[in-house]
Structure 1
Amino acid sequence: MNWFRPLLMMFYAPARGMSEVRERSPLAISLLLALLAQTAYAFFTQWQFLDPLLAVRGPSIFFLILFQSVIPLLFIAVIFVPTLALLANVFERRASFGLVIQQEYASLASIVFYAWAAANIIAIPLVRLARATGFEAEFFVQFQKSLAAAVNQGSILPSVARSFADPRVQSLTFAALIILPLFAFWTVLGVREVFKLSAGRSLLVVIVSGILMFIIGPMILPLFNMVAFSPFLLIMLFILLRGYFGEVTRGHRARASFRQNLEAATLNPADASAHYNLGLIHQQRGELDEAQKRFERAIEIDADEVDAHYQLGRIAREQGRLPDAINHFNEVVARDQTHAQHEIWREIGATYLAAGQFEDAHDSLERFLEHRNMDPQGLYLMGRALAGLGRQREAADAMQACIEAVKTAPAYKYRTEKRWLNEAQQFLRSQA
């Protein structure tokens, strides 16, 4: 079963498992797997309290636990996943929040649901071990002492302490303390996989998202309880949101299908474009090493694949391999001096600028701005080149032109170009 393979991989190769989930696991399967794992964990940890109820209420208790297991998944789907996407996008600045949700919600939610399933599965033997060693019993004793001390200090109300004194509440608390660190671990890996953030930033995104979920959660818990325990409301909610989630999952399936078709096309030894397009997918996701391999393979098949040289140059510049970048850009210029609407010269200028060759950077950027004189990035880079040449007044003029170009840009373009406005303003402040 394809959905079971990535789940197993998450225990011995979690990064690869996350990648498999992102590429191939449908959101519905991920949700079902998380629900089953959550239900199994709930039965295992709460069976001592459910056994008496089973004699009274019969098999209906199973449906009660099933509906209770829906509540954490609703929190994850409605609060946690969008918050992860929002905070990750703050660091990465990939696009607007709405576009990121549209593009990545299905992948991110699938990964988070798999993380929840894996955490529930691995927590079962851990709880069993805690009970066998007496760790759980010791936890309950210390928990009671902490509650009593908090009441004596006036930190919590006696009524709150009495509610936590309920053995079932204590058992649920212990179960949550076991599962949450495991869930956080796999979620951090998932955020890294989807957004290509550093480990530190991924951890920060997960921690802040978790804190926000615990703050917002109590406010909307009554609504979730009402929905979870009402099959009619669940059906209504499904009908209302079916179109939106259908669109999100349809886009995810389309991208997965497109990639599979491209991978199949790479079997044709004469098809350079398939390797190039796969390289673009990897490059967009930040998988630069894999993208580089695809672009290089495209060039092996067709030495005149200008686009592949162009992207290899960009990757080399991003990785700090500046001579390699210039070599690839020279291959592009030798074949097409107007490639990518003259952006080849902007890339060459940026590379020379990174190398500290300000005169060469100035000449290349000048050629670019002859044709794209309102390009904010080009103007910003020209300002940097002029500053490197000691022409401070002209550098300030270029930065001011960059700011004006962004401010007068259409709304859709302003969001993507705002970075250069901020950079130019920061440069001008540093020169003041």
Structure 2
Amino acid sequence: MPQARIESLDHEGHGVARVEGKTIFVDGALPFETVTYNTYRKKPNFENAQAMQIHTESFMRTKPKCPHFGVCGGCSLQHMEFTAQVAAKQRVLEDNLERIGTVKPETLLPAIYGPQWGYRHRARLSVRDVAKKGGVLVGFHEKRSSFIADMTECHVLPKFLSDQLVPMRELVGKLSIYNRMPQIEIAAGEHVTVLVFRNMDAITEADEAHFKAYADQWNVQIWLQPKGPDTAYPLYPKDAPALTYELPEYGITMPFKPTEFTQVNHAVNRVMVDRAMRLLDPQPGEVIADMFCGLGNFTLPIARRGAKVLGMEGLQQLVDRAFEGARFNQLEHLTDFKVANLFEMTEEWLDKLGHFDKMLIDPPRDGAMELVKSISAEHGPKRIVYVSCSPSTLARDANVLVNVKGYKLRSAGVVNMFPHTGHVESMALFEKD
């Protein structure tokens, strides 16, 4: 098997080497290491490989905490020291901005990070009966595989959820539809934890009794989801309090349903929202747009600062929930929400919405290309805060904002929302002179 010297990390946490002019992405390898690798995918311009032996260890290497690391596909960077992970993600962001966006921030923001373990308050676990493994498995998929990892613990989940991985296996194994239940979605709020079981067939009375006993033992609420996410409903207890997460600095409590998108890392989300508010600096009397607003994670803190804010989102269900959150927090007088496909935004459509003093953009991985192209170079908002879950699309959109629309990229930095993974969240501030 060939050897290579690892030069850097890519955006997914793979070691990057160059062998005879070809780029090799090596799983499990870190910068400055010399490794023997085995290629599992070969393309004309690159190869994907697995590190088989580490000959020279990087100073960044550490012992993974989880016994399932390397098999489970949930984490890819547990072998890398935590602060080095954050620094590597910052380099990924800087590289994308320079290489794809041809832009450079005037200032690098300090990285936002929080607890490295027990942070994941949302997860979607796969379920499958595997006779060769002795019964039902519950967990994440194995790396590069459709098989489910044989997990007994998970350190990125809060401990009370990690402790339930084996009991959840046992619960499903008792059910009449044990082989017709492919997924369990976990949603942990401030005071309530919901387990949503995807049941492809109806449950029996005996099944319901098993669910109730489990809910009482582990102090969770059981939901069933017979079809799509909209069909999820509470089974037991039916009168449990609603799921919520809190933004204490803004006096905001956000109700949500277990199948709706919320940030998985509550601690980092609070710091991220606070930084976004500092950069955006909402003032009473200003009119601000929150694009891709979701449930109102940024909309309501903006309103709490006294600005009028329009939140726009593509799904009616999320807009309805955002209205509910505004009413719940007595902010409906400063907020409005609209359903809109922001991936089809035009300059004419944006003009019809009226003038915005400032704008916050928080798109999915696809970015916000049509939106930023629609912003007027002359009359656009004087300040834009862009929250991104993909450095490459942020860089692409930054290129338009800076090199076409005339904004300055004042600052940018990473948000380590998903420790021990290659996922890079980031935030950038754009301003007009």
* TM-score bin (small chain): under 0.3
- Greater C-alpha Rg: 1
Q: Which has the higher helix share?
A: 1
TM-score (norm 1): 0.25
TM-score (norm 2): 0.25
Q: Which has the higher strand share?
A: 2
